[in-house]
Chains A and B, each alone.
Chain A
C-alpha cells in the first residue's frame, strides 16, 4: 500500500547511517494518503520488497547483537585469509575461534553468514569457509535439524566445487588442521545424516516431505560423497606423489608427475586427507578390504610425508585396526592399536588446545576396548605400558570373557562401545510412502522374513556384531582346552573328553576333536610380516616387510599361539614354547646409561679446592702412588689435581 512504499524510501536513509546505531524500531510513518495509484499493479512488488525489507531489518538486528570483539575477529580473520597469511590464519582458526565460541556462543549458533556478510564485503569464498565453521559448530554443540543438514550439504558442495572446478588451482592457503577438519567434518555429517535418515519411525511430516523430495534423495548420497573424495585424490595426484617419494625420485621428477595441482600444499594435503577419508567411509559402509586397499600407498608407519595433525594418525590407526579386526587378523590389529596408543600417550600433553582433543581421547578409549577384545581372541605378548592400562580398565571384563559362553554379553557390550557407527548405504524409500509404511509396520506372520526374525538384515552395526560374536563363540572352548593341555605332554583324547565332561554337558569325543581343530585354526592367522624384532615361532624372513609397494592386505600364515599340539590317532601330543629370559635390552640400556653418567661426570668441572694445604702435601706422591694400584680396575681418567 501507499504507506509501505513511503516507508521504504524513508527507511533507506536510516540504513545508510552508521550501522551500529541502527534502530530496531524503524519509524514507519503512516500517512493517511489513499492514493489509489499505488495499489494493485504494484502489490506484488511491494510484497516482495516488504519481505526483503523485513529480512534486512532482522539482519540488522542480529548484526547489532554481535559483540564488537567478534566483529573485529571476523574482519581480521578475513584479512588473513585474503592475504594468504598462513600463520595468522592458523592462529585465528585454532585459538581465536575456539575462544570466542567458549565465551559467546557456547550454547547458541554463531551469527548467520548473511549477517556478517557486510563485514567481509560479501566475499563469497570467505563466506563459504565461514559457513563451514558455522555448521561444524552446530553439529558438535547443538542438534542440527533437517534444514541445517541440507544446507550444510549444499555448502560443502559449493566449497568442493570451488576447490575442484575453478580454472586452475585456487590461491588459498589454509592450515593443515583446518583442511583435515573439513574432510573429517564432511564425513561426519554424512555419517550423521545416514543415521538420521535410516530411522523413519520418528520423523515429523515436514521432515518426511523434505527427505522424500528430489533434493532430499540427492543430499548426502553415498555416491556424491565418494565422488568428492575420489576427485580430490585424482586432482592432486597424491597417490602418484606418494609412490614417487617412496621410490626416491628427485624433486623435479615429482613435480612433473603431480602436475600443477599437486605441487600446491593445499591440494596435496587435501588429497592425502581424502585417502584417509576414503578409508573411513569404506569402513562405515562395511567394506573392509577396499578400505585397506585404498591405503596402499600411504602405509601404516608413523612417518607421514609431512607433519599431519595427530588426529589424522589416530583416525587412520583406528579404522585400519577395525578392518584387520573384522578380517580376523587379530595380531595386526593389536599391533596397530598398541603403536598408536603409545604415541598418543606420549604426545598427549601437546594437544590440549586443539579442536580435535576430545575426539582423540574418545578414539583412544575405544582402541583400549578393542585391544581388550583382541587380547581375548588371540592372546599374544604385547607392549607392557599399553597392556597395563588395558588391564586396569577392562581387567574384569577380560576375565569374564575368558570364561566361555557367559562372556558373550560382555564381548558384545565392548564391541558395541568401540565400533564405529556403521551406516547403511541406502535410505529407506522416502519417496514412496506406501513402501515406507510397510517398512515401519512389523511384518505379518505370512511374510517370509518373519519366520526367522533374528536374521532380518537390520541395523548394520548388528550385522557386524553378529559376525564378530560368531567368531568369539567359536573360540570359547579354546581357553578351557588350553588350560588342560598345558598340564600334559601327551594325553589320550578319551581322557581329555572325560576332563571336559565334568561340566556335565555331555561332551563327546567328536566335539572335543572339533574344538581342537578350532584351536589349531585359531593359533594361526594371517599377519603382516614383522619388520625386525625378535624371532618368534613361524615368522618368515624380516626383510620382506620393508618394501613400500606391498599392500596392506598382504600377509603370511603365522603362528600366534605358544601352545602347540598334534593328534596322532587318538593321542594328543603337546609342546609348549616358552620365552627365554631377555636380558639384552636391560643390559644395553643400563650400560648406555652408565656411560652417559660417566661422561657427564668427566665433563663436569672439578670441585673447587677446599683444602689446598692438604692437597699440596700429598701433591707430589699422591697421584703417583694412587695410580699404581689402580691399573687393575677400570681406567679412570681423573682430571689430575694440579699442584700450583
Chain B
C-alpha cells in the first residue's frame, strides 16, 4: 500500500485535520479557516495534503460566499506538483460555476489565470518539460510567479521531482543537456541536483546514469500461469474416490 498511503494520509497531517477530513465536520463552513491555515502551512513547509485541499474546495462549492481565489490558485499550484497523481483534475472537478461575486475587494484573478494553469498542467501531463519551463518563465506567467509561486516553498523543486520521476522510469542514461532542459538547470547547479538524486554524473562524456529501478529495468517475460494445488484438489480427490 506504499504508493497511496502517503497520498491518502500524509504523515504531516495533524489529528485535528484528520478528524475534519474524515468526519462530518468537513461540511461546517466555520472550519474553512482551519483548513486554509493548514494549506498555508503546506505551502511554507513543502508538504502536501491532497484530501485536505479537496475539502477546502468542497466547502467553497457549497458556500460560494467563502470563495477565496488566492487559496484556489495555491491549491492548484500544489496539485501541479503531484503529477502523476490525478490531483489537478480532481481540483478542477470541484471548481463549480460561480455567479459573479461582487463581495471581493479586488477583481477575481481566477478566470484569467485558470487557462494558464491548465496549459501548465497539460504540458506536464504530456511530459513536455522544456516547453513547460519556457512557458513558466515567460511574461504571461509573471503574475503567477510574482504572487504565488514565490511564496510556495520549493515549487520549482517539486516540479523537478515530477520530471525526475518520468526520466527515472524511461532512461538508463541521458545526456547532460537534455536533462538540463527538462529541469531547467545547467552547469554546476545541474550537477548538484543530479547528486541529490543519487544519479551518477560522468563529466567526461556528459552523460548522467540513472541507477536501476523497477521501471527502467526491462526484460522479456513470458507470463506462465501458476497452477495451485487447490485448483487441482477436485480432480485429485476424485481419483481417490474411484477405487
Contact = CB atoms under 8 A, between A and B. Distances in A.
Contacts of A556: 1-4
A426 B90 contact: no
B8 A578 contact: no
Contacts, number: 216
A591 B232 CA distance: 10
Contacts of B234: 588, 592, 595
Contact of B173 (A222, A451, A518, A569): A569
Interface of A: 222-223, 226, 230, 234, 285-290, 293, 326-328, 424-426, 428-429, 435, 438-439, 448-449, 451-452, 454-460, 463-464, 466-467, 470-471, 474, 510-511, 513-518, 520-521, 524, 526, 534-538, 544, 550-551, 553-557, 564-570, 573-580, 582, 584, 588, 591-592, 595, 598, 635, 637
A457 B129 CA distance: 27
B90 A566 contact: no
B12 interface: no
14 contacts: A223-B62, A327-B86, A452-B111, A458-B97, A464-B93, A518-B126, A534-B225, A554-B4, A555-B3, A578-B223, A588-B234, A591-B235, A592-B234, A635-B242
Contacts of A592: 234-235, 238
B105 interface: no
A523 B86 CA distance: 15
Interface string B99-121: 11000000110011011001000
B166 interface: yes
Contacts of B16: none
B217 A425 contact: no
Contact of A439 (B85, B99, B107, B181): B99
Contact of B86 (A328, A466, A566): A328
Contacts of A554: 1, 4-5, 8
Given A455-B118, A557-B3, A579-B223, A449 B111 contact: yes
Contacts of A635: 242-243
A584 B235 contact: no
A222 B89 contact: no
Contact of A463 (B51, B92, B130, B215): B92
Nearest to B109: A448
A219 to B, nearest CB: 16
A579 B226 CA distance: 12
A426 B62 contact: yes
Contacts of A510: 130, 181
Contacts of B215: 520, 524
Given A424-B97, A467-B93, A537-B223, A289 B4 contact: no
Given A287-B54, A518-B127, A635-B242, A584 B231 contact: yes
B115 A452 contact: yes
A568 B174 CA distance: 7
Interface residues of B, number: 77
B166 A521 contact: yes
Contacts of B181: 510
B204 interface: no
A566 B111 CA distance: 41
B86 A551 contact: no
Contacts of A579: 222-223
B98 A426 contact: yes
A466 B207 CA distance: 39
Contacts of B114: 452, 455, 457
Contacts of A288: 90, 93
Contacts of A439: 99-100
A327 B130 CA distance: 26
B127 A517 contact: yes
Contacts of B166: 517, 520-521
Nearest to B1: A554
Given A285-B61, A510-B130, A463 B93 contact: yes
B221 A577 contact: yes
A426 B114 CA distance: 21
A566 B174 CA distance: 11
A575 B1 contact: no
Given A448-B112, A455-B118, A584-B231, A567 B221 contact: no
A455 B127 contact: no
Given A285-B58, A526-B85, A553-B4, 15 more contacts: A287-B58, A289-B90, A426-B96, A457-B95, A457-B96, A457-B114, A464-B93, A554-B4, A555-B4, A556-B1, A557-B3, A569-B175, A577-B221, A588-B232, A588-B234
Listed residue (B58, B93, B100, B234) with the most chain A CB atoms within 10 angstroms of its CB: B93
Nearest to B84: A521
Contact of B171 (A287, A466, A515, A567): A567
A460 B92 CA distance: 10
B3 A428 contact: no
A290 B172 contact: no
A520 B169 contact: yes
